Amino acid sequence: MSDALTALAAELAACTLCAPRFAATATGHSPRPVPWFRSGARIVVAGQAPGMRVHKAGRPFFDPSGDRLRDWMGITAEQFYDRDRLSVLPMAFCFPGYDAKGADLPPPPVCAATWHDRITAGLGDVALTLLVGGYAQKYFLGADAKGGVTRTVQGWRAHAPRVFPLPHPSWRNTGWLKKNPWFAAEVLPALRTRVKEVMDG
């Protein structure tokens, strides 16, 4: 790992900017940032924020969403967690807590505003970026994502092969996947081909 990103990951791991915000949630938890990036990784997974299981484990996508994402990508957990090949850049590095309905709260915008520019500057040449869910799509695609996740993912050809917008792989989107069979039929084969190309490259 480059010195700059090693130091940055350590700095991020100690971040407590959102402590008051998290203390006010139902879980009243403390910040536990989960940095997972290394200079030279050619794939970046830009997601939403850790869920409770990732918060406890300290490892990104260490949950059923991660299993589904790895299946979409056609790679093993061992490949996914190889930081020389893949970095994870969520819109927030800590679990944000739950809303009144038990869904995860949105990622605090202060996180990306504080950390992203410094991390992306240190990542180097990224061959493939996965924009997982609406928050990452709005952040990276701006006006191109304003039609919502379904339209943005439907327009994947405008961004491929370097960028793939994807729905969030959460169980909450199982209904979406059933309603949109074109995603498995068209997007996933192209995604797997691109992931393999970059992994093997």
CB of 128 to ligand SF4, least distance (A): 24
CB of 130 to ligand SF4, least distance (A): 20
Are the CB atoms for 108 and 124 separated by under 8 Å?
no
CB of 118 to ligand SF4, least distance (A): 12
Choice between 16 and 193, CB closer to ligand SF4: 16
CB of 24 to ligand SF4, least distance (A): 13
CB of 12 to ligand SF4, least distance (A): 6
Choice between 52 and 127, CB closer to ligand SF4: 52
Element (H, E) at 163: strand 163-166
Residues that bind ligand SF4 (CB under 6 A): 12, 15-18, 31, 33, 92-94, 108, 110-111, 114
Element (H, E) at 67: helix 64-73
- The backbone torsions φ and ψ at residue 192, rounded to the nearest 5 degrees and listed phi first, read -65, -40
Choice between 8 and 111, CB closer to ligand SF4: 111
DSSP line for 113-145? HHHHHHHHHHH---SEEEEESHHHHHHHHGGGG
Tell me the CB-side half-sphere exposure of residue 200, using CA atoms within 13 A: 8
Interatomic CA distance for residues 188 and 164, integer angstroms = 10
Interatomic CA distance for residues 98 and 104, integer angstroms = 4
Choice between 23 and 110, CB closer to ligand SF4: 110
Interatomic CA distance for residues 100 and 26, integer angstroms = 9
Choice between 5 and 163, CB closer to ligand SF4: 5
